[in-house]
């Protein structure tokens, strides 16, 4: 069972839990924290002790003289960084006593972390609804837009989370891929066991598109210490069904470039699976900063979002037994105009 925080959610953000060493060269908890975190804000650490904002199990406040070894865990509120507002809003598609379905925009992270705390879908939604118990039941990459489900009621959360564990949630994605070279685009290159797959020719791309639908599988694993995945030799553990939704020319930043809008059905859930699979096929998603080539870190370019959308989620409700589905109302900017 998860250890419950004795501190309530504040401004949409949970208190941070820290495990303390049982012993060491620090006479007090304050001495330990000052050595570990004092380079960041020593005055702020001492202020938290003075104000009773560092507590142990059961909510017992610690003071600057509390000996080390008296508490195994402490909870406290982090100092929040100054954040540049992300100029896009998530839209609530559905809300009831158990679930909230949200249509998340590109660039907005699902959960707080790093330089994004208030500028995350979870914290924004908690502040918007006043429901501190909200938790996401799955996640989307910050770069990916689309439908996310949040659990409202802790008592029924497990019934919905078990659907994900049993793979009884049906997810549909869409992606836009280039069918010809363009400025700032690379197709057909993806990290594979240290090597690079050769770029496909236009004729090979056309042959691949005309062969859709395609049931594609390979073996994927995360790169240790990185946020990327690679393709390796071995028994496939990642599978995606890919089909063609539309052919045409881009209507966005790459206006006039021949592109394909693809429907993607991930049958497994490996990290970056859809992005790696398409790049492996020579169809790297437009504006993908990880695949086929890792971009240098740069400020977000809001005019060039990753052309990947979590279009829909469908499942049988474990409480009512009814079929339920939620569909994003967003459209990918580089998709060809509808016929």
- Answer whether 174's CB lies under 8 Å from 336's CB: no
For the ranges 39-43, 109-113, 156-160, the maximum mean pLDDT occurs at 156-160
**Is position 335 within any domain?**
no
- In sequence order, the 6+-apart residues with CB closer than 8 A to the CB of 182 are 254, 257
Ramachandran angles phi, psi of 243, nearest 5°: -140, 155
For the ranges 118-122, 198-202, 323-327, the maximum mean pLDDT occurs at 323-327
Distance CA(69)–CA(121), nearest Å, equals 37
The pLDDT tens digits for 54-64 are: 999 888 999 99
Q: Is the pLDDT of residue 4 over 50?
A: yes
- Answer whether 160's CB lies under 8 Å from 151's CB: yes
**pLDDT value of position 89:** 94
CATH number of the domain bearing residue 97: 3.30.70.580
- Answer whether 168's CB lies under 8 Å from 140's CB: no
Asked which of 166, 186, 212 is the last residue of a domain, the reply is 166
CATH number of the domain bearing residue 265: 3.30.2350.10
**Is position 81 within any domain?**
no
Q: What angle do CA 13, 15, 20 make, to 5 degrees?
A: 150
Distance CA(271)–CA(268), nearest Å, equals 10
Tell whether 97 and 227 lie within a shared domain: no
Ramachandran angles phi, psi of 114, nearest 5°: 60, -125
Tell whether 204 and 321 lie within a shared domain: yes
Tell whether 247 and 192 lie within a shared domain: yes
> What H or E segment, with its residue span, contains residue 76?
strand 73-76
**Is position 83 within any domain?**
no
**Is position 44 within any domain?**
yes
- pTM for the structure as a whole: 0.83
**pLDDT classification of 191: cutoffs 50, 70, 90:** very low
Tell whether 229 and 277 lie within a shared domain: yes
- Say which residue, 239 or 224, is predicted with more confidence: 239
Tell whether 235 and 262 lie within a shared domain: yes
Asked which of 144, 166, 188 is the last residue of a domain, the reply is 166
Tell whether 21 and 46 lie within a shared domain: yes
Of 106-120, 180-194, 241-255, minimum mean pLDDT range: 180-194
**pLDDT value of position 275:** 92
**Based on the structure, what is the number of domains in the chain?**
3
Ramachandran angles phi, psi of 280, nearest 5°: -65, -30
Residue 150: give the domain boundaries.
Answer: 91-166
Tell whether 142 and 179 lie within a shared domain: no
């Amino acid at each position: 069972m998860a250890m419950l925080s004795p501190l309530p959610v504040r401004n949409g953000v949970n208190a941070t839990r820290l495990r303390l060493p049982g012993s060491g060269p620090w006479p007090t908890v304050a001495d330990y924290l000052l050595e570990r975190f004092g380079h960041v804000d020593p005055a702020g650490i001492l202020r938290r002790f003075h104000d009773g904002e560092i507590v142990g199990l059961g909510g017992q406040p610690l003071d600057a003289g509390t000996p080390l070894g008296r508490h195994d865990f402490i909870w406290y509120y982090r100092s929040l960084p100054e954040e540049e507002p992300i100029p896009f809003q998530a839209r609530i598609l559905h809300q009831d006593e158990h679930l909230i379905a949200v249509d998340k925009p590109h660039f907005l992270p699902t959960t707080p972390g790093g330089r994004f705390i208030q500028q995350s879908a979870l914290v924004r939604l908690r502040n918007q609804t006043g429901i501190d118990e909200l938790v996401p039941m799955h996640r989307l990459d910050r770069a990916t837009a689309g439908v996310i489900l949040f659990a409202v009621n802790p008592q029924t959360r497990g019934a919905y989370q078990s659907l994900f564990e049993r793979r009884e949630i049906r997810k549909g994605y869409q992606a836009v891929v280039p069918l010809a070279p363009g400025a700032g685009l690379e197709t057909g290159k993806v990290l594979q066991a240290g090597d690079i797959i050769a770029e496909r020719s236009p004729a090979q791309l056309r042959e691949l598109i005309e062969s859709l639908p395609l049931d594609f599988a390979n073996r994927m694993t995360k790169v240790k210490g990185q946020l990327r995945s690679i393709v390796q030799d071995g028994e496939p553990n990642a599978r995606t069904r890919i089909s063609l939704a539309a052919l045409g020319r881009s209507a966005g930043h790459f206006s006039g470039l021949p592109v394909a809008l693809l429907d993607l059905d991930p049958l497994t859930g490996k990290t970056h699976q859809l992005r790696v699979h398409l790049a492996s096929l020579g169809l790297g998603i437009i504006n993908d900063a990880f695949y086929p080539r890792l971009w240098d870190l740069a400020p977000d370019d809001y005019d060039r979002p990753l052309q990947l959308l979590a279009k829909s989620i469908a499942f049988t409700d474990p409480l009512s037994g009814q079929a339920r589905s939620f569909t994003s109302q967003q459209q990918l900017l580089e998709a060809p105009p509808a016929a």
